[in-house]
Amino acid sequence: MNNASKIEFHDLHTTRDEFLSDVINGLRQRPASIPPKYFYDAKGSKLFDAITELAEYYPTRSEIALLKQHADEIAGEVGTGSLLVEPGGGSCAKVHILLKGLKPCAYVPMDISKDHLQMAAQELAAQFPWLEIHAACTDFTREMKMPPSAPQGTKVAFFPGSSIGNFDPAGAVAFLQSIATLVGPGGYLLIGVDLKKDKKILEAAYDDAAGVTAQFNLNLLARINRELGGNFDLAQWQHLALYNEALGRIEMHLRSRCQQTVKIGSESFDFAQDETIHSENSYKYSVEEFNALATQAGFVSQQVWVDDKQLFSIHLFRVKP
Ligand SMILES: C[S@@+](CC[C@H](N)C(=O)[O-])C[C@H]1O[C@@H](n2cnc3c(N)ncnc32)[C@H](O)[C@@H]1O
């Protein structure tokens, strides 16, 4: 069997109409907001990968170190031959660490960023010729389903990168419930969760000196210009990242540098100077806080690993068999 015969690509991507209506509805609200899933076109995905290389961005380094350190224990708990699914797999970089120990019967990366996912799946297939891959371009905030052609096996969901922090706590419970339904009784969830910590470390991670996170945030406006015919003047918008200690979340905003009117097709939106568009939240949780959310969603804690500097956590949960 060659690689090409082992990769299947399922395309259920969001349409331009959905993007347009989400942006228009979000910009009509006060405060204005846009769902963070729209960061990830091909350019946004590349910028996110560049963020993961930054000195200030500790989450990726910490999570990779934890996964390497505990890969054998994870494999010992979960066993081999499972069906491994990764919502928001992005570049599918972290799963490499798990593949040798888990030897899954198939790997199902799901991501909204279609071209990036396709490339990542092809690269993975070249590196792991024995691996069966069913890549699905899909929006995980809607119903998550296994591609019908995926083989049977104990289901293991892998959700690294603290992407769970992009939901508010109630949304996180609802999303975790949808993962519990996806993996079913006896299924597992291996999830990376960023920990609460010093505000300075957090804010630097989301507002790096080289301005890569600023480019990532501003790409949202550039994408609206490219795909929806918007006329955002990027020079008139500033990236902001602030830790809201009361809510335990990093907030990313785009701040209007002046009073301005922006057009998207036939719609126009007025912004006062300093008014913001809220583009992302990234909630941080203690181990106990996150355990409580996952328990509400129907998971039972199996293991949790935290690095020596207490920067990041990886939890292994299971749905009761
Ligand atoms: C913060 S990045 C994490 C990437 C990777 N999992 C990691 O740990 O480095 C979030 C990933 O989720 C994807 N994503 C964001 N919102 C999504 C959605 N609603 N449905 C599917 N994928 C989504 C993005 O395209 C991106 O690859």
CA angle in degrees (0–180, nearest 5) for 69-136-158: 20
Q: How far is the CA of 289 from the centre of ligand 1 (A)?
A: 23
Please give the distance, rounded to the nearest whole angstrom, from the Cα atom of residue 95 to the centre of ligand 1.
14
Residue nearest to atom 24 of ligand 1 (CA): 88
d(CA 50, CA 62): 16
Say how many Å lie between the CA of residue 181 and the centre of ligand 1. Answer: 20
d(CA 146, CA 120): 19
Question: Tokens 């109630």 appear where?
Answer: 170
Whether the CA torsion 26, 27, 32, 33 is positive or negative: it is: positive
Nearest partner of 279 among 256, 243, 255, 252, judged by Cα: 252
Does the C-beta of 291 come closer than 6 Å to ligand 1?
A: no
Question: What's the pLDDT tens digit per position in 34-60?
Answer: 999 999 999 999 999 999 999 999 999
Query: Which residue from 117, 110, 86, 112 is spatially nearest to 99, judged by alpha carbons?
Result: 86
Check pLDDT > 60 for residue 2: no
Substitution candidate for ligand 1 out of 13, 22, 40 with most atoms within 8 A of CB: 40
Residue 21 exposed, middle or buried by CB count within 10 Å (0-12, 13-18, 19+):
exposed
What tokens were used for 94? 């972290």
Which of 38-52, 70-84, 142-156, 215-229 is least confident?
142-156
Q: How far is the CA of 272 from the centre of ligand 1 (A)?
A: 32
Ligand 1 close to Cβ of residue 59 (< 6 A): no
Determine whether the shortest distance from the Cβ of 94 to ligand 1 is under 6 A.
yes
Contacts 24+ apart (CB under 8 A), 208-212: 208/51, 208/54, 208/55, 208/56, 208/57, 209/56, 210/54, 211/239, 212/47, 212/50, 212/51, 212/54
Point out the ligand 1 atom lying closest to the alpha carbon of residue 139. Answer: 20
Atom of ligand 1 minimally distant from the CA of 111: 22
- Asked whether 67 lines ligand 1 (CB < 6 A), one says no
Give how far the C-alpha of residue 295 lies from the chain's centroid of Cα atoms, to the nearest Å.
Answer: 21
- pLDDT tens-digit readout, 191-216: 999 999 999 999 999 999 999 999 99
Tokens 């599918």 locate to 92
Ligand 1 neighbourhood includes 216 CB (under 6 angstroms): no
Q: Whose alpha carbon is nearest atom 13 of ligand 1?
A: 88
CA gyration radius, the chain: 20
Going by pLDDT thresholds of 50, 70 and 90, the confidence category of residue 5 is very low
Q: Is the pLDDT of residue 72 over 80?
A: yes
